[in-house]
Amino acid sequence: MTHKNPSFIRAALVVAGLALAAPSGCEAEPPLRTGGPAAGWPIYAGDAGGSRYSPLDEIRPDNVHALEVVWTYRTGDVVDEVTRHRNHSFQSTPILLDEALFFCTPRSRVVSLDAETGRERWVFDPEVDLSRGHYNLNCRGVAFWLDPAAAPGTHCRLGIYLAAADARLIALDADTGTRCSRFGTGGEVDFSTDVGPFKPGEYGISSPPVVVGNLVIVGSSIAENRRVEMPSGKVHAFDARSGELRWSWDPIPRDPDDPARETWRGDSADRTGAANVWSLISADPARDLVFVPTSSPSPDFYGGERVGDNRHADSVVALRASTGERVWSFQTVHHDLWDYDLASQPVLIDWWRDGRKIPLVVQGTKMGNLFILHRETGEPVFPVEERPVPQTTVPGETTSPTQPFPSWPPPLTPQGLGPEDAWGLTLWDRGKCREMIGAMRSEGIFTPPSFEGTVVLPGSAGGSNWGSVAYDPTRRWIIANTSNIATTIQLVPKDRADFRRDSGAHVSRAEQEGTPYVARTGVLVSPLDVPCNEPPWGSLMALDLDAQKIVWRVPLGTTRDLAPLGIALPWGTPNMGGPIVTAGGLVFIAAALDDYLRAFDIETGEELWKGRLPAGGQATPMTYRVRDDGRQLVVIAAGGHNQMQTTRGDSVLAFALPEPRPGAR
């Protein structure tokens, strides 16, 4: 979930009246390209464990300044009168198979390009039924499966799998883009048939499936805060060849004999929905495990109809890939009332400690807490403490007395905002922020929703979101980007809820049918439309796993595309999308509210280069080299994000170092 109208920065920068000078001077001639072994990007996050790491090192700190656009592809999938009312965002990351790229567009169209030239190979349009499909129109990626029993040249020997916005899993031939007729009915299966009734726009998917062995595993995206009795958040696994359902797993314990049922009072485990897996799933095929990050149960901000810890919602869960059996579960939030669902992909890494290799799961969270768990058991590698947290005063609600906090690392973002922490461009608007905070409940993180209004920092967009973290296996460093914007939640008894009071540029209303309360949520900004918490409002950082310290932290993004006259203050911005790391010693990331792809020196966090994008880069980049004598390319989708109000577009761009000039040495 994100909050609308980043105009909270625009108006205020007229008051600031500041601009940063652009660097000047001549740059040295870039070193000639070095070439090297080919390296691909066959899975959304680079590998099944989500490391977002590439072994390529042609692009380095000493030559990254020379990167240039080598091709651009326009999808034609842009906002129109049909999609204008929906959350239309281009968040896709391509995958590379052989010499072809594959990705999907917001309308779930699949595109294949020649990876070196950007030339279109084919396009498949599933003709998504927008009257049925999910209100979030975005598609983050596709997956592939190589049929080990099929002879070379066989149709659909290499299959591309699309999880479409209207809850269809579709199999395509990678060479032609035509449907695999053996899969389901006409090349597709509907994964919504056993999740219970839902209304138009309530159920679909935005993240790619994951393939383990001969199974295609897919989660779901469920509309938030509409009512108590929402669809089930089941995870489904289908046979990659036939499309037959092999297993499903429900995060909410419907079985009366399930021990987790005790954490759902009364019959709430039978009535409540969601707790779905809308983000990215990771896999450890060697251990026959998949790791699913679950979301909050319905509705988000009032839990009186689901009293208890609500396990296995808001949890990272290890499932047996072949059967769907739950192996272990670790809950990061008990009885979630803040929309603090697990948006980040669990990242699987191997870490050496005392001469032993330890398989880990690194789980980012919207709270800014980073949990590091043993991959085989779910036990914390660094101790996790249950600490007392503020309690509710809302009739009918029961809050958890404690919440889990890791001993290391420390929170990646500030947690909580008191009146003394108020920030503003002037003493006047700082004072207004102090007054607003003082009138609400603001007792630190996990202060529950209230009648007077509650300050929430980090807000429900993070901390970390679906961009997750990247991992450098040579340095054993974790790279994380975070957002840092305070939001508010207020519960209003339904007999007092007034639609007119719920209107405003930064206010949203959630009906929460089946509960006594409407929820009003918003961004905490001053009368000048500036956040009431101190910048940076977005950060990028490196964490040393061996030394257990934060190596560096820098602002991510400027006000370049938010402020009048292009004023570019280095205050950081909220961000959506993730980082990648290369063996060349670079971190590539876009994500921020200004329209740039950036490269940072992994050793220092210094920004070394930024490439202008034609639209918002709320997507994770990827990199590859098709041939040993080819160029290393860095590719990103630039299409903007509806809720973040970045520049809209439909471009995919590839950056590379320039080819050597004839006669150059």
Active-site residue set: 339
Sign of CA dihedral 297, 406, 278, 144: negative
469-472 and 454-456 strand pairing: unpaired
At 419, give phi and psi (nearest 5°): -55, -35
Q: What is the DSSP string of 374-385?
A: ETTT--BSS-EE
- Alpha-carbon distance of 316 to 296, in angstroms, equals 12
Evaluated on CA atoms 17, 22, 23, 26, the torsion sign reads negative
First to last CA, the chain: 52
Question: What is the rounded CA–CA span in Å between residue 291 and residue 276?
Answer: 13
Of 243, 116, 114, 103, nearest to 162 by C-alpha is 103
The one-letter code for the residue type at 420 is E
Token digits for 554?
A: 């820098």
C-alpha distances in angstroms, 227 versus 141, 150, 301, 512? 29, 47, 11, 4
Element (H, E) at 57: none
CA distance 120 to 73: 8
User: If you count them, how many residues does the chain have?
Assistant: 665
**How far is 409 from 390, CA to CA, in rounded Å?**
23
- Decide if 614 contacts 651 (C-beta within 8 A): yes
Please, what sign has the CA dihedral across residues 115, 118, 122, 128? Answer: positive
What's the token pair of residue 597? Answer: 């792809």
Exposure letters 274-309 (e unless 16+ CB within 10 A, then b): bbbbbbbbbbbeeebbbbbbbbbbbbbbbbbbbbbb
Contact call for residues 370 and 382 (beta carbons, < 8 A): no
Label the pairing between strands 168-173 and 188-190. Answer: antiparallel
- Reduced to 3 DSSP states, what percent helix, strand and coil does the chain have, rounded to the nearest 5? 5, 35, 60
DSSP track, 146-187: E-TTSPTT-TTSEEEEEE-TTSEEEEEETTT--B-TTSTBTT
